[in-house]
Amino acid sequence: MGSKDRGERRAGARVAGMAVGLSVLAILFFGLGDMTTMRGSSTTTTTGKVTKGAAGLVEERRTAASLEKSVKPVDSKTDRGEEAPLPPRLATSEEAIFTRFKAPNVTMGPFSYFKRIEPRQNFTYCNQTYAEEPFVLVTTEPDHRCKCYATHCNDIDYPTHSYVMLRVGGSKEDQDSLRVNLEKVYSTHNEKTGPTVETVVHGSGLRYRAYNTILQGMVNNKADRDAYQRNSFLVLTEKGRNLEELRDGLVRFSNGLKVSVSGQSDGYKELSKLVPRHLAIGKQTAQKCKKFNQYDNSFIIQYFKRPRNIAQIVKRLKAQKGRNEILVNDDSGTEVGVWIRELEKGTPIRYTILVSGNIHEIRGYNRLAKIAHGKLLVLLQDDDYPSNGGRWLRHAHHLFKMNDKLGLVGGFTGTIQGGPLTNKYGVGRASIKFKSGFRKPFMFATLVNMGPFLIRRSYFLESGMFNGNFSCRGEPGIGFDYEFALRTWYLGYHVGVFKSEMNYHVGDWASSGTRRNRGLYKKRQTIKRRNTRYYKGTYGPLDPKQCPNCLDMYYKQGLHGRPTTPYKKLKGVGIKVHDLNYALRKNASAF
């Protein structure tokens, strides 16, 4: 065989290899959510809906492949590229498939993610799927073990029994009755043989100080007392909340395999009646489900000892237009009365205050999201003020309305690592390069930083919410926002960053929270390093030796201010981020 023939064969092999590579990329990033449906003409999802058959998927992927080929390489020196046509119309979020992510014992990176804890299962409420949360394994990490006192950490996150106690009054008689029944419940708690329990108490006149005194007086042993407090939740709401609605919300809030619902009104007669969680929820009528979706926005605030900011936060949130509710996780339990006073002052608003014994942001956001009734979840922090004007919120609704596959929008910063658009955009960083059809700054980003996060509620609940592996109770979850952004891309949804018009880091933010002393800040940095390993080890490049379980989608191919990878050599999610941004630049009115 001549050298010319060998050269031609090598060239042909290279071309064939490139074609196969492009096909794999097209399937991975445009059809990943539907991979499980290729076996037959139609498949029923976990929500009971029928997805498109194989023929439809092939057609969609042909469209996606043609879109990818139409985007020409970009010269990294000029930061200009051939403008891409608009992507095809995207499927609605309700049609998203999560079967692959919910499969039993899926090993992803250094921890078993969404591992089934039988017989714990997803459940549905008013056609909304509540997926099981990630199985927390942080206690096994040698450099960062969780301290859960007399109770195992898994018993706190995954109790076998949840006891919901409704409308507990504040009189001495009511408090004595509550104490007796709490002692009854916790006398059954046994972390070695089971059952493990949690209590969810709804206060109707019961003040937090009185509730805390009851818990403190139950046992003399400090370790047991701390364990009981960490397994106890006090929930306070506005007066007049519908009892059935309240019951259903607190059952959804619960994490137990079985749930008991009792209350002051029935003398806790139903306390010992434990049933599976989906059976504890009342009948789902059309009227009830209509109320479940009647709110536009659920503002969820993570709070810890920043009392000077409360009045201004409430005032500004009440000024936002639309049908809204406010939910607060008072992690410190120090300003419960202040929150109630400010929320009940002036214009009435639906509110929920959770006093949680320092579970911190990941678990606080997850728990309150399960109670929320708003179509859009707006996750806020206690050192940020929302703008008095409502343009930022109207802009967010516009973005979600125009793009049915948009799952998450960050309002602080967004990062692209690799390609001509490599940079960090947003507050204190480079200006957001593009604008949406709302004529305000917006672009797609690989990663986004918390504060605020705006998330489609249906997607957040179906995705399994935030990953508790990124934080022990009472500790910061540095990097949980990056992991959720990468998971959103992995599930076939989009992530973006926009100008949220927030006033950031108000008050004494630098001297409070986890930055308030050197020891806590050092722990924060340790958690950051550990969690960075977690999300890189889950979504990073596949390596048979170093990372055999990596999902091969997140490539760090450039940093702002340094040489970066040209468009031709992009890998993983970076390709889709660039293509969507070029489509946005081509026709902003479609976004």
Both tokens of 489, joined, read 């891309």
List Cβ neighbours of 525 (8 Å cut-off, separation of 6 or more).
none
Name every residue whose Cβ is closer than 8 Å to that of residue 133 and which is 6 or more positions away in sequence. Answer: 157, 255, 366, 464, 465, 468
Q: What is the pLDDT of residue 191?
A: 72
Entry pTM: 0.80
Backbone angles phi, psi at 69, to 5 degrees: -65, -30
Instruction: State CA 312 to chain mean position distance.
Output: 26
**Model pLDDT for residues 37-85, shown as the tens digit of each residue:** 333 333 333 333 333 333 332 333 333 334 333 333 333 333 333 333 3
Residue ranges of the chain whose pLDDT lies below 50: 1-119, 138-140, 150
Give dist(CA 352, CA 339) in Å, integer. 10
Q: Residues with Cβ < 8 Å from 367, sequence gap 6 or more?
A: 233, 253, 329, 354, 356, 359
Q: What local confidence, expressed as pLDDT, does residue 391 receive?
A: 94
**Using alpha carbons only, how large is the chain's radius of gyration in Å?**
25
Q: Quote the DSSP letter at residue 510.
A: G
pLDDT of residue 508: 66
Give the C-alpha separation, 302 to 328, whole Å.
6
Helix then strand count (H, E) for the chain reads: 18, 20
60 vs 77: CA distance, rounded Å: 34
The residues, ordered by sequence, that sit 6+ positions from 332 with a Cβ below 8 Å of its Cβ are 303, 304, 305, 358
* Residue 1 CB burial class (10 angstroms; 0-12, 13-18, ≥19): exposed
Which residues are paired to 164 by β-bridges? Answer: 200, 261
Tokens of 63: 């469209």
Using alpha carbons, list the distances in angstroms from residue 60 to 55, 98, 492: 9, 18, 13
